Structure 1
């Protein structure tokens, strides 16, 4: 039976008490037990985000004429981001609700550009196999063909493979800085040079690392060029609600010039309701997300971002050294950011994940190759030693033959054994349908 709307009103305190109780089984991100999805700093930082978001909770960024305050804040956020990514006065962009929307706008822009400038009815994009699935979603939604280039042994995309995949219908080449799975920045300079030599666009997906890598570089880390300082890079996406530490959902998508950005916009002049203009996918654009992003960039400033990057790098260094010292465990590649994956040559890594989950740790599972994934935030600084101790003990017990608690290992093992990926997709559809079943 569907749940019906309550017949009577309830008190605010009663509703909020039930709401807070619903999170009892949620991942414990505040305690540093979760390694994805949440980029927590501390309670004071969270209070700033809540207050800034609340100040503009009702305002709608769809209309810059009705809310010039939001227009100004968005313009400043875009300008600060462009400056961080070595953009000149010509670089232009907008805010979006997150990395997926930023990526979809970049793909939509490339499609419109290819149709107008090259006369290609159904353009193609070339992206690494490690690229975020949002590119698959964009290709599906916008009827664009996507071709995947395999990574090399260092987990960075093979530029020769990218070049081999270019056809007369190619419009866009993509690289990640870094891709989520392994935290290793793709060879953006080479990809952009290839795109430029063929008269193609080049997008850098810096949704994950955009607001981290520049500060890591300032702190002396060897970060390869990835942004508008690289000739041939024509667009870039970066999430403010990741290492920008803004409230969800906030991201930016930037273009080399305003002419490119125009391909992102949507206009419709025949609606009886009036002239309609929209800069991105959504109609309503939450004013609170714009305000919170503006607030946090002013609150932290370069000093604050550098401090967080310093703490994350130190924690990451400790974890990487500790994992490498555990017999049978191996880090994949040479990560550039506070994001990495590790596997095992001696135990089932998915069972290791289940064993760690039994101790309250949430580590993402990966495939091809099987691995566990970590995304480090300032909240992990205080739990790094405990994590390593638990990881060492769980790996040792599995190696000695002790079974792991029941978890996702069986599912990943089954999926990995199915050669027909369409069958796997069908399984995932059934799973998703069950998750969103009523009740």
Structure 2
């Protein structure tokens, strides 16, 4: 080998010597440093990012294009227009009300506060109580509201961060967790904790398995395998915890994750396998039994995200609608997230993250031992937590009881299947995959489906828009099981389709046109800008301050 490479080495050395002959030391050093920087960045560009080289090239090209003055000016003008549109929308919603921008010198009385509260709560245009909204509000019952209002009143100033002061809150949280574990067939070793919602539950699972893999397996470049239909909270977790996501496409017909590509994505850096039961976009469920087998074979924890439909799926067999097993009965399933504040019908702000074994929950915790304020430990993202949220969740679950959960599940699944069947009979649209719980998604090959969204909005309906491909979905709640609601929805869809199909080639107009344009933009950083502007508009305050 030395004989082969010796001439090459001599040639390279001679070339370098000739190149730097007669140069000063600073020139040699600066050239060397520049070469190293260029080569290092080129290497990172080619090999160290998730996207393929085509995607990386496109992103880099668009980033450079945005720096060209004429293009930058045009983009800035468009962003200003979007900003104005979003702000005008918020202004129109609040135009009849005053903004309080300074703390009143003397406190407002109870009557004035409730008057202002009622004015603020009356701003929405959608009849969510009447069932014309997809998801969002999963149950509305005055008796339950009276109960949780009274319970929250008793516990509104409590905080489980201080267990010595409020040990009863810890007991109530433990009971919520244990009841939920029982519903998902967890064994005696299964544990969990409450969080503020599904996103936090997912964040906690990702942190736990990242830290577990680092400690037990020495993995320092953690990756998680995630179907593209999994909740965006996994992407948030990846940003927070420096995880690399292996995004796996779905089968376009079944809308379930492609298991062949899923298996290929598992490697020595994989710390977590993700499956949805069901996923948010289409309401379909991944083949969790096979993913469970992957987890056992490769010794990687499997997380099942049941945030959306978990408190339906655990009652469906008893309600007469059996589905494939998707809980702790599968040996590879290591953790499950389920939202009590959805089909658990508890007030907003509660979810449960469960683990098959206590060793995993230990890695969810955050512990600081060197703080001058003392040893600090917290089970989730928050330090202080509202004890009232724990208490009202506990009270609502106990008040509802198993029989009422089963009955509610029966009514919701029956209504969902009724709506799905009606939609499948309509010309011009199709249903994505085979929904398993309460979500039915539709698309169209004949017209731009966002036109249907706009048309239904004019009739008072608020549905969820999907992208890649374009679609809509309705998430059925107890509000939709009220007499006549499902039939009204199907009738309105049918009427809208009759009108749309008279001229299926017309473009989308109104705010959904922006959604369609955003979906088609190759430079996704502009979509990020749009989204930031929209989030800004949610906290819009008048330029002219109206002082109290």
TM range (shorter): over 0.9
Q: Secondary structure at the match of 2:192?
A: strand
How far, CA to CA, are the matches of 2:156 and 2:510 in structure 1?
39
Q: Distance in 1 between matches of 2:473 and 2:387?
A: 33
Hey, what does 2:382 align to over in structure 1? 282
Matched, 1:244 2:347: no
Aligned position for 1:407: 510
Q: Aligned pair count?
A: 439
Equivalent in 23, 26, 34 of residue 121 of structure 2: 23
More off after superposition, 424-433 vs 292-301: 424-433
Alignment check: 8 A CA contact 2:327 2:336 kept? yes
Matches within 5 A, 1:277-426: 277-382=377-482, 383-401=485-503, 406-426=509-529
Between the aligned partners of 1:340 and 1:387, the Cα distance in structure 2 is 13
Deviation at residue 51 of structure 1 after TM alignment: 2.2
Match of 1:272 in 2: 372
CA distance in 2 between counterparts of 1:41 and 1:18 reads 22
Partners of 1:291 and 1:10 in 2: how far apart?
Answer: 28
Task: Kindly indicate whether residue 104 of structure 2 is the aligned counterpart of residue 6 of structure 1.
Answer: yes
2:416–2:438 Cα contact (<8 Å) kept: yes
In structure 1, the partner of 2:537 is 434
Cα distance, 1:369 vs structure 2:
1.7
**What do the CA deviations read for 1:341-384 (whole angstroms, capped 9, x no partner)?**
11123332111111111111101111122111111111111211
SS at match of 2:299: coil
Offset of 1:18 from its aligned partner? 1.4
Q: 1:174 aligns with which of 274, 286, 291?
A: 274
Question: Residue 133 of structure 1: which of 232, 237, 243 is its match?
Answer: 232
1:107 aligned residue (202, 206, 214): 206
Aligned pairs (5 A) from 1:26-37: 26=124, 27-37=126-136
Deviation, structure 1 residue 437 = 4.0
The residue number in structure 1 matching 2:192 is 93
2:256 to 156, 165, 172: 156
Correspondent of 1:116 among 211, 215, 218: 215
Shift of 1:36: 2.2
Q: Deviations over 1:376-428 (max 9, x none)?
A: 11111121111111111111111123979953321122112212223322332
How many Å separate the matches in 2 of 1:261 and 1:9? 45
2:333 is matched with: 233
1:281 shift after superposition:
0.6
Superimposed CA distance per residue, residues 22-75 of structure 1 (whole angstroms, 9 cap, x where no aligned partner): 122323311211112211242222222222222211111222222111111111
Separation (CA, whole Å) in 1 of partners of 2:507 and 2:299: 53
Is there any run of 5+ residues in structure 1 with no aligned partner, and where? Answer: none
Q: Is the 8 A contact 1:354 1:404 kept in 2?
A: no
The equivalent of 1:72 in structure 2 is 171
Of 99-108 and 404-413, deviating more is 404-413
Structure in which a larger fraction of residues adopt helix: 2
TM-score by length of 2: 0.77
Separation in structure 2 between the aligned mates of residue 244 and residue 305 of structure 1, nearest angstrom: 8
Q: What TM-score do the two structures reach when normalised by structure 1?
A: 0.96
* Residues 363 and 373 in structure 1, CA contact (< 8 A), matched pair in contact too: yes
What is the distance in 1 between the residues matched to 2:118 and 2:100?
Answer: 23
Of 310, 316, 322, which residue of structure 2 is paired with 1:216? Answer: 316
How has the CA–CA distance of structure 1 residues 2 and 302 changed in structure 2, closer, same or farther, with 3 Å as cutoff? Answer: closer
**Number of the residue aligned with 2:96:** none
2:159 touches 2:387 (CA, 8 Å); kept in 1? yes
- Pairwise CA RMSD of aligned residues? 1.8
How far apart, in 2, do the equivalents of 1:344 and 1:38 lie? 27
